């Protein structure tokens, strides 16, 4: 008997589920083709494996204290296992975009190809201002973009693969991506139900709503589910 999963939030074609994507994606019956756009915890807090075990640290807002990113304490092997467990539910996904950084690029690309996607682009988010880092200060992040071969027909590109966009300020989440950036990426993806298995504060869902698209987000932490629900309930999308 198929288990019925109760939404945390549902309105206007946008749905939030609270829980672990590895478990919830088994029970969700998503109608029609899907596109995934997500920002998983890619455990790049250290150059060596031991450094990853402490997790990455982000900041929420200018006055907040450091906030460790949930589930961001996996080794590289742990990250690969997480991605493979989630991506095995992506058989009906035609296009996928996964945020990552230079340290985890190869592992993210391998995970997508293992799941049956053809890696088609490295999208660069150019943040403008320099961040921290040695011997070079970090100024960009990456998005691995994969496609099923069946999705390549009549494909029209709307944007270049380098997107200039300032940082979000992390008002809602310690690794929050700017709404402008996510909206532009999503606007360059083919039609389909938008799914974000690592929803965080819901920026992908807010972008989907702005574009008039149906979307599903899954998040394991209730506080971020609540933040995402509040953002989606506002008349002016932030």
Residue 15 is assigned to a structural domain of this protein: yes
Residue 1 is assigned to a structural domain of this protein: no
- CATH number of domain containing 53: 3.40.50.150
pLDDT reported for residue 63? 39
pLDDT digits (tens, 9 = 90+) for 113-166: 999 999 999 999 999 877 776 788 889 999 999 999 766 666 778 889 999 998
Which ranges of the chain have pLDDT less than 50?
A: 1, 45, 47, 52, 54-55, 57, 62-66
Residue 83 is assigned to a structural domain of this protein: yes
Residue 3 is assigned to a structural domain of this protein: no
pLDDT reported for residue 158? 86
122's CB contacts (< 8 A; 6+ apart) are 105, 142, 143, 144, 145, 161
pLDDT reported for residue 65? 46
pLDDT reported for residue 64? 45
pLDDT reported for residue 137? 81
Question: In the chain, at which residue ranges do the beta strands (DSSP E only) sit?
Answer: 9-11, 14-18, 34-38, 57-59, 66-68, 93-100, 118-126, 140-147, 162-164, 193-196, 215-219
What is the domain range of residue 223? 9-233
Residue 87 is assigned to a structural domain of this protein: yes
Residue 219 is assigned to a structural domain of this protein: yes
Q: How many domains does the chain have?
A: 1
């Amino acid at each position: 008997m198929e288990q019925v999963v109760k939404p945390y939030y549902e309105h206007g074609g946008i749905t939030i589920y609270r829980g672990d994507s590895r478990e919830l994606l088994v029970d969700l019956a998503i109608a029609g083709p899907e596109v995934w756009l997500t920002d998983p915890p890619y455990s790049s807090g250290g150059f060596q494996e031991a450094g990853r075990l402490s997790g990455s640290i982000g900041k929420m807002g200018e006055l907040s204290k450091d906030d460790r990113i949930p589930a961001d304490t996996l080794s590289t092997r742990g990250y690969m296992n997480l991605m493979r467990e989630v991506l095995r539910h992506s058989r009906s996904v035609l296009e996928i975009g996964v945020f990552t950084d230079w340290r985890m690029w190869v592992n993210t690309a391998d995970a997508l190809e293992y799941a049956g996607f053809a890696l088609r682009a490295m999208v660069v988010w150019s943040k403008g201002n320099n961040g921290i880092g040695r011997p070079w200060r970090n100024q960009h992040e990456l998005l691995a973009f994969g496609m099923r071969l069946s999705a390549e027909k009549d494909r029209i590109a709307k944007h270049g693969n380098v997107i200039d966009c300032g940082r979000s300020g992390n008002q809602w989440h310690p690794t929050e991506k700017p709404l402008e950036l996510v909206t532009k990426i999503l606007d360059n993806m083919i039609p389909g139900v938008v799914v974000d298995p690592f929803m965080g504060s819901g920026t992908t869902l807010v972008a989907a709503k702005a574009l008039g698209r149906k979307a599903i987000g899954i998040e394991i932490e209730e506080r971020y589910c609540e933040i995402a629900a509040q953002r989606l309930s506002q008349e002016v999308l932030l």
